[in-house]
């Protein structure tokens, strides 16, 4: 009998029949359903269309979470009103509220909630981030999540899986972000539509969870439903660090699992990668992009800016200042990361380098606040998307790369190889 992929295993555990194969459409139990201030008001409106109490019955209120993370603190009265709708709804129904400043939903899910084998749905395309902890997690719209909150289940087509093999040891200055950008350059922005990406190889064995979260986060940039990585000792160590080791379980796909296709590359030969403006699959090695003038650097987003990223950024900024006239904006992904940066002296280093540090949240990645560029600005961002207009001004251009490459770029004022500073 054919073995199971991680997607088939986790979905199977949540489906009535217990065993599923790719291509089947199934109804699954949901472990966590969440929303945020950008989609929450629409979701709450959809829930209000149901007759009776939306949260009656035996729903897991402690597993229904509302985050206020997209526009914090609110820059307009309209957004403040939207956040109040979300805040009052969550508190009024006894649901979990992760209030403004606590952090980006995906980072907080990874810190406090997601565990191996979970099935998680949220009103945000980067919900797939928790795949780095071996949770089948996927983004949907407000209506789907409203129904998932009410019924505690959703329907899914069990995805085919593309196996992504990352072999070798990452050289100095090369991180998970560079690996996923390289994978995107192979897959393209629709190369994994409706599919699951499953990451394998010796580079994964050697990668801590923070890097795995970065890989899983950008699975959606290839159109994927989710990106999954096995749960091993490194997953256990991570959960232990966040005081929930009892939620750990080992999980891996079967040896004889069936994959739709495979891509492979050797990370030991990789150099830092940069996505050129327009699309996250338009990727070149830094050597082919270096020297391009940049006047805003954003270090933030659910893709990066975990504490491990911030340590690397501080290492690069040590005894350096940002280029004159360049806007350097640093947005920690969560309050825990922010506090960690403070305790470890990282904040001192990046502020002394000239950074404007904002509260934890989505920041300018989303284009509603937090450093919206001027006309003709060129941004280098550690985030996940550089579609036209993404950062709030369609007349600006955005490059993507690792936090390390972003930091080196901020110092020189042009796209730079971080290995120069490591």
- The interface region with another protein, picked from 94-102, 118-126, 322-330, 406-414 by CB under 8 A, is 118-126
Residue 146: C-alpha distances to residues 90, 142, 302, 338 (Å): 13, 6, 23, 31
Q: Look up tokens 């949907």; give the residue.
A: 140
CB of 81 to another protein, least distance (A): 7
What is the distance in angstroms between the CA of the first residue and the CA of the last residue of the chain? 49
Which stretch in 49-57, 106-114, 320-328, 345-353 sits in contact with another protein by CB under 8 A? 49-57
Q: Provide the minimum distance between the beta carbon of 5 and another protein in the complex, in angstroms, as a whole number.
A: 18
Q: In which residue are the tokens 């490459």 written?
A: 405
What tokens appear for 326 in the block? 């360049």
- The reply to whether 140 sits near another protein by the rule CB under 8 A is yes
Of 60 and 143, nearer to another protein (C-beta) is: 143
Position among 13, 42, 277, 356 found at the interface with another protein (CB under 8 A): 42
User: Is residue 379 involved in binding another protein (CB under 8 A)?
Assistant: no
Among residues 19, 62, 81, 352, the one that binds another protein under rule CB under 8 A: 81
Q: In angstroms, what is the minimal distance from the CB of 156 to another protein?
A: 10
List 60, 165, 279, 315, residue binding another protein (CB under 8 A): 279
Site string for another protein, 230-269 (x = CB under 8 A): ----------------------------------------
Return phi, psi of residue 133, to 5°: -105, 20
Among 21, 60, 93, 193, binds another protein (CB under 8 A): 193
Contact between 49 and another protein by CB under 8 A: the answer reads: yes
Nearer to another protein, 286 or 329 (CB): 329
Q: What is the token pair recorded at 102?
A: 């606590």
CB of 56 to another protein, least distance (A): 13
Question: Which of residues 21, 60, 125, 165 is near another protein by CB under 8 A?
Answer: 125
Q: Which of 85, 258, 356, 357 binds another protein (CB under 8 A)?
A: 85
Is 119 or 239 the residue whose CB approaches another protein more closely? 119
Tell me the β-bridge partners of 138: 121
Q: Report the sign of the C-alpha dihedral through residues 74, 368, 333, 146, in that order.
A: positive
Q: Does 223 help bind another protein (rule: CB under 8 A)?
A: yes
Q: CA angle, 365 as apex, 362 and 370 as ends, to 5°? A: 70
> Among residues 135 and 218, whose Cβ is nearest to another protein?
218
Using the minimum distance from each CB to another protein, give the nearer residue, 148 or 316: 148
Among residues 33, 119, 147, 346, the one that binds another protein under rule CB under 8 A? 147
Residue from 21, 60, 93, 143 that binds another protein (CB under 8 A)? 143
Q: In what order do the strands lie in the sheet with 32-36?
A: 96-98, 64-67, 32-36, 119-122, 136-139
Is 213 a binding residue for another protein by CB under 8 A? The answer is no
Closest to another protein by CB, 1 vs 25, is: 25
Nearer to another protein, 12 or 139 (CB): 139
Does residue 106 belong to the site contacting another protein (CB under 8 A)? no
Cα–Cα distance for residue pair 19/10, rounded to 1 Å: 10
* Interface pick for another protein out of 70, 290, 322, 327 (rule CB under 8 A): 70
Cβ(7)–Cβ(257) below 8 Å: no
Sole binder of another protein in the list 10, 142, 176, 337 (CB under 8 A):
142
- How many other CB atoms are found less than 10 A from the CB of residue 236? 17
Residues that bind another protein (CB under 8 A): 25-27, 38-39, 41-42, 46, 49-51, 70-71, 75-76, 78-79, 81-82, 85, 123-125, 127, 139-144, 146-147, 150-151, 153-155, 157, 189-190, 193-194, 223, 225, 279, 366-368, 372, 385, 387-390, 392-394
């Amino acid at each position: 009998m054919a073995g199971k992929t991680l997607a088939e295993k986790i979905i199977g555990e949540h489906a009535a029949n217990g065993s599923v194969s790719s291509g089947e459409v199934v109804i699954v139990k949901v472990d966590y359903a969440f929303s945020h201030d950008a989609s929450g008001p629409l979701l709450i409106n959809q829930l209000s269309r149901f007759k009776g109490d939306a949260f009656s019955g035996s729903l897991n209120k402690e597993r229904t979470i509302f985050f206020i993370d997209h526009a914090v603190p609110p820059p307009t009265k309209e957004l403040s009103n939207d956040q109040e709708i979300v805040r009052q709804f969550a508190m009024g129904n006894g649901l979990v509220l992760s209030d403004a400043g606590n952090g980006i939903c995906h980072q907080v899910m990874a810190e406090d909630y997601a565990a191996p084998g979970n099935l998680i749905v949220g009103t945000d395309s980067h919900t797939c981030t928790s795949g780095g902890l071996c949770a089948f997690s996927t983004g949907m719209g407000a209506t789907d999540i409203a129904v998932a909150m009410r019924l505690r289940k959703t329907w899914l087509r069990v995805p085919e899986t593309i196996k992504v093999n990352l072999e070798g040891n990452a050289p100095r200055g090369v991180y998970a972000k560079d690996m996923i950008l390289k994978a995107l350059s192979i897959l393209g922005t629709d190369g994994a539509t409706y599919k699951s990406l499953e990451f394998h190889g010796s580079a994964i064995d050697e990668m801590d969870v923070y890097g795995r979260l970065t890989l899983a986060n950008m699975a959606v940039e290839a159109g994927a439903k989710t990106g999954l990585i096995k749960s091993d000792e490194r997953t256990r160590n991570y959960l232990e660090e966040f005081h929930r080791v009892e939620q750990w379980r080992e999980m891996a796909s079967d040896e004889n699992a069936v994959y739709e296709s495979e891509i492979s590359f050797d990370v030991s030969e990789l150099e830092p990668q940069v996505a050129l403006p327009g699309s996250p699959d338009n990727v070149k090695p830094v050597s082919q992009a270096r020297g391009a003038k940049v006047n805003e650097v954003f270090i933030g987003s659910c893709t990066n800016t975990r504490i491990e990223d911030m340590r690397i950024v501080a290492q690069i900024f040590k005894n350096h200042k940002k280029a004159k006239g360049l806007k350097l904006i640093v947005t920690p992904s969560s309050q825990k990361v922010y506090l960690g940066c403070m305790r470890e002296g990282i904040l001192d280093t990046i502020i002394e380098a000239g950074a404007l540090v904002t509260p934890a949240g989505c920041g300018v990645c989303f284009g509603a606040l937090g450093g919206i560029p001027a006309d003709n600005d060129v941004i280098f961002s550690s985030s996940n998307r550089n579609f036209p207009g993404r950062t709030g001004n369609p007349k600006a251009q955005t490059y993507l790369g690792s936090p390390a490459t972003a930091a080196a770029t901020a110092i020189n004022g042009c796209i730079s190889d971080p290995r120069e500073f490591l």
